[in-house]
Structure formats: C-alpha cells, structure tokens
Amino acid sequence: MTTEVNQRADDGLVAVTGATGKQGGATARRLLAAGRPVRALVRDKTTPAAAALAEAGAELFVADFDEPSSLAPALEGTAALFAVPPTAYGPSGSNPELEFARGRALADAAAAVGVRHVVFTGVASTSGDAFAAPGKRRTERYLREHLPLVTVLRPVRFMTNYLGAPGLGLEGFADGVHRHLFPPDEPVQIIAIEDIAEFAVMAFEQPDRFAGRTLELAGDELTPVEAVAAIGAATGVAVRYEQLTHDEAAALNPEIAETRQRWISGQRWHADLEALRVIHPGLRTLADWLNESGTAALRTRLLATA
C-alpha cells in the first residue's frame, strides 16, 4: 500500500471539488485558514476564482467530471475529499442519471487512489419525501459502499440565495420583490455557506466522530415575510415577499411546481437546530450573516436594480 493511502485522513492533503463555487470555495478557504493543505479541482486555472484560491495557498489541478479519466490523477496523493459533484439541471429540469454518473465517477476515482475520508455535500431531505434528489441520494449510497470513511452533509436553502441563484428562475430580488414557492407565513430553514464549510472542516479534523454520519444542516428558521423584513431593515431598502402561484411555478419548471405542491402538502426540511448548535456553537443566524457580509452585498444588488 502506498504512502498516500497510509496517510491519516485527518492530517493529509484535502482535495476540494467545486472549489470555485459556493460550498467548495468556502470549504477550501476554511481548510486553508486551519492550516490544512488543499488541492482545488478546477476546470480552468485562469478564472478569477481559481486565481484567488491559488493566491490563498491552494494547489490547483485541472479536472472535469464529464471526463472521468481526469479525476484519478487529480486525486492522487490526497488523504481526503470534499465532494460537490455538479448538479445536472437545465430548462427541462434535473437529470439525476447524469448527476449520479458524475458522483460515481468521483467515488471510483477516490477509491482507486486510496482516498480515506470523503465529506459529501448534497441537499436536505424533506419529511415524507423518500425520493428527493435521487441523483444525490444514489451518490451518497455509492460512496458509502466504496469508500472507508464517508460523512454526508445535507444543507437546506442557502442564505446567499437572496443574492440570486442563476438557472432557477427564482431567488434574489426583482424590483424590490423576492418571489418564491414558499407560503409567506410558514418558517423555512436556511443556512450560511460558511457554516457548511465549518461542518466539513470539523468532519475532516475528527473523522472518528463524524465518519458514517449524515447531518441535515440549517442555521436559522424564519418565515419568508420575516426574512425579507430583516433584509429590508438591514439594507434600508423597501422590499417585500410574494409567493409564486402554481401556474407561475409551472411556467418556470414543472419540478419547481411539484416542489411547491409538496411543500404546501406539509413536507418540510427538518434539521435540528438545537443539536447542530451543540456541535457548532457559532452557527450563523440570518442576522449574523447580514452583519458579516449579507447586508453590503444585498444593498449593492438592490440599489443596482432599483
């Protein structure tokens, strides 16, 4: 067995996929801040996000999920992996087969080169919905079957989605209005990207504690009306919330309409905030995120579209 395979999972080089995106970028930066060496897997080393990671101390390695042969060389010599296989999502909806194919290719490459610990981040489950995110759920199972140590993180909706999320046709604000599928006066769980990174780093630092666990992640729980009111108060910009009708959601995408209907029927994310705060006492509320970075970013967006 090679020296790389024998490395302890909690002290070796960590590969990070999605490193120029939200979760991967936050996790790479948090690992570097903790003194952990990071290899960022990117498709293009010349992008500003990739250059910023390199400047922060990350090693860059070009790899592409749709070219599986590029993955094993990118993971060679790493002890652990933060896995964010790209979501396969287009105008016609999600493609769980392609998403799983990407996750399986990453798992196979990690197993082939002896990666010890994988922290996989997917999407939160909902009560009563066993078939949500099938591509991600299949990837979770495949990883557990083929890697020795696996931790699964399932985050809810990101607080940064209030800044806008490309490709969905919702999120963000338009003319001071935040429109979404959620009922206006029922709580919705949200999480700061930085806290996903915090849980990932804890898992890497304490594999004996976190390997084998699945953590449903959230940091706060507010109604859409309460959240938008907090954003308005923080930014000083008049904003309001509107719920999409079924027809409006269906016009965006049939899957969005289906999710809206499931939500109305009572299915909910169910992260245990009190238990999570025991693990991570610094878990951010929406107010915390606004104070740290959200207010400035949101004010810029809101004023630009006013």
Assess whether pLDDT exceeds 50 at residue 2.
Answer: no
How large is the average pLDDT for residues 297-303?
94
The domains of the chain, with CATH numbers, are 3-157+192-218+268-284 (3.40.50.720)
> What are the φ/ψ torsions at residue 240 (nearest 5 degrees)?
-150, 170
Q: What pLDDT digit, counting tens, does each position of 199-231 carry? A: 999 999 999 999 999 999 999 999 999 999 999
Which pLDDT value is given to residue 3?
35
| pLDDT at residue 207, as a whole number | 95
State percent of the chain over pLDDT 90.
81
pLDDT reading at 128 higher than 50: yes
- Over residues 56-113, the pLDDT tens digits come to 999 999 999 999 999 999 999 999 999 998 887 665 667 889 999 999 999 999 999 9
Per-residue model confidence (pLDDT) at position 51: 96
With residues binned 3-state (H G I as helix, E B as strand, rest as coil), the percentages for the chain, rounded to 5, are 45, 20, 35
pLDDT score for 4: 39
Rounded average pLDDT over 153-166? 92
* Amino acid in the structure at residue 185: D
pTM of the model: 0.93
Apex CA 125: angle with CA 290 and CA 226, to 5°? 30
- The more confidently predicted of residues 34 and 127 is 34
